[in-house]
Amino acid sequence: MDSDLFQPFSNFDFAARDAVIAAVSGGSDSTALLLLLKAYLDEKAPAVRLAAVTVDHGLRPDSAAEAQAVGHFAQSHGIAHRIFAWEGPKPATGLPAAAREARYALLAEAAAEEGTDLIVTGHTADDQAETVAMRQARSDGRGLAGMAPATLFDGKAWIVRPLLETRRETLRDYLRANSVGWLEDPTNVNQTFERPRARARLRDEADVSKLLAAARDAALLREYLGREAAGLIWAHARHVAPGLFRLDPAFAAAEPRDGAVYALRILLAAIGGTPHLPDEARGARLFDRLSVKPFCATLSRTLVDARRGGVFLLRETRGLPEPEPVRDGMIWDGRYRISGEAEGVLVGPHDPAIEPDAETLPADIPPSLVRAALSAEPMFWGGSEPAVPVAIPLVAPWVRFLPSFDLEPARAVAELLGAAPPPASPYAKHNVTGA
Ligand SMILES: Nc1ncnc2c1ncn2[C@@H]1O[C@H](COP(=O)(O)OP(=O)(O)OP(=O)(O)O)[C@@H](O)[C@H]1O
């Protein structure tokens, strides 16, 4: 075994699984991934079943034939292969993002069918450099950490990227040395899309190295801030009534300030039910005002009410979903997953006419805030069956994608909200530190 090429695989916990899904498009990176992973598992974890999956996006006339060619290639190496087709209408705008969402959903479906939570992709250091370059260009406030070595998708399947620090050309050399060809996807050079444009701009090796170094630094910083934010959430935030949270007065002076601002931004998104954190500048401004009481503001759909007894956070009542029929698995207001089907049952915001139970009202919490928070909570009505669906709390910013470097704050917020904790990362470097 060429130790350099196989080394990254040892960072992931494959042996604990019955099966692993390799996501293979047939391009050079994922073809190399498939062969390397097969050789690695044969030697280190022969009991683990490897299944290759190709998603046929149906966006080009040749896509079905290409997927079949990948199947023949996999089978010629003794690897089971399946094709999952992206069916249904395709959006006119935002096609790459929609294709990516659909791809991950189908890969997660494949993983569930194989009884595993592990999907391995062929993302390389070149993909990482492109991602960071695109984020720098957009500067969308998400930080420049790039892709994480592992990302939890939909709360259930880990997407792991063992080749994230390996250069594409190294993989191509490996394929050439083994006389293995690959497919060239014309979309990869189609300049109407953002990624191919970023790829075309990245001709200079020095730029690539700089971007990779920036990605590593940003990932370390993000993990550090995440751990600090998690510690502050555990120390200062409490769930005091349905939908109502209190930060104790010491939070406004918490150190390090960057960690406290990050904690506040995470809480605002989680309580407001938004997938993105409010931007850093606004989060920082709000944090600075917390100590100047009394004070009231709204950010990321979260009402912030700072008074002598602490800082209260609750979902604002504006823009709540209209009552609608319950569908099992639906996400309500970005904050709850509704579980259980019940004929004729509706879900909507709590009826403000129904007063909170006076007996259970916390003595030191303003009743008006308890009422306001309750009126932004979900409520069920209608239907004839006794089985009422349940609303399970979600950690809004990470419902769809949870990068491994955000695991600590995700865990802290899950505990605060009463949501299920995220599973342990299969990325061994994290497990070493207990993250
Ligand atoms: N159609 C697909 N089916 C299965 N997996 C895919 C598909 N497209 C992409 N992937 C996975 O996502 C990774 C990154 O996707 P990206 O679009 O950057 O790759 P690509 O250019 O299509 O192919 P490659 O990475 O193999 O050169 C791939 O390495 C592969 O693991």
Residue 364 has pLDDT above 70, yes or no: yes
- Determine the residue of 28, 29, 153 to mutate for testing ligand 1's pocket, defined as the one with the most ligand atoms within 8 A of the Cβ atom: 29
Helix (H) or strand (E) holding 15: none
Q: What is the mean pLDDT of residues 109-116?
A: 97
Please give the class, per CATH, of domain 3-203: alpha beta
How much distance in Å is there from the Cα of 148 to the middle of ligand 1?
16
* Residue 267 CB partners (closer than 8 Å, separation 6+): 233, 237, 245, 247, 302, 313, 413
Residue 88 has pLDDT above 90, yes or no: no
> Atom 29 of ligand 1 has which residue's CA nearest to it?
122
Q: Could you tell me what percent of the chain has a pLDDT over 90?
A: 71
* Residue 35 CB partners (closer than 8 Å, separation 6+): 77, 174, 175, 178, 180
Residue 373 has pLDDT above 50, yes or no: yes
How much distance in Å is there from the Cα of 27 to the middle of ligand 1?
7
Establish whether residue 127 lines the binding site of ligand 1, counting it when its CB lies within 6 angstroms of any ligand atom. yes
Residue 434 has pLDDT above 60, yes or no: no
The full set of domain ranges for the chain reads 3-203, 237-401
Q: What's residue 399's pLDDT?
A: 96
> Atom 28 of ligand 1 has which residue's CA nearest to it?
122
Per DSSP, the residues of 28-86 read: HHHHHHHHHHHHHHHHH-TTSEEEEEEEE---STTHHHHHHHHHHHHHHTT-EEEEEE-
Q: Could you tell me what percent of the chain has a pLDDT over 70?
A: 91
Q: What's residue 435's pLDDT?
A: 42
Residue 76 has pLDDT above 60, yes or no: yes
Q: What's residue 186's pLDDT?
A: 67
Q: How confident is the model at residue 333 (pLDDT cuts 50, 70, 90)?
A: very high
Q: What is the mean pLDDT of the chain?
A: 90
Establish whether residue 122 lines the binding site of ligand 1, counting it when its CB lies within 6 angstroms of any ligand atom. yes
Q: What is the mean pLDDT of residues 88-104?
A: 90
Q: How many CB atoms sit inside 10 A of residue 20's CB? A: 24
For the segment 185-219, what is each residue's pLDDT rounded down to a tens digit? Answer: 766 656 666 666 767 676 677 788 889 998 999 99
Q: What is the mean pLDDT of residues 62-75?
A: 95
**Index of the ligand 1 atom closest to the CA of residue 31:** 26
For the segment 272-330, what is each residue's pLDDT rounded down to a tens digit? Answer: 999 999 999 999 999 999 988 788 999 999 999 998 888 999 999 999 999 999 999 99
For the segment 225-283, what is each residue's pLDDT rounded down to a tens digit? Answer: 999 999 999 999 999 999 999 999 999 999 999 999 999 999 999 999 999 999 999 99
Which residue do the tokens 């190496």 mark?
Answer: 77
Establish whether residue 123 lines the binding site of ligand 1, counting it when its CB lies within 6 angstroms of any ligand atom. yes
Q: What are the C-alpha distances in Å from 289 to residues 246, 258, 302, 311, 435?
A: 16, 15, 15, 11, 32
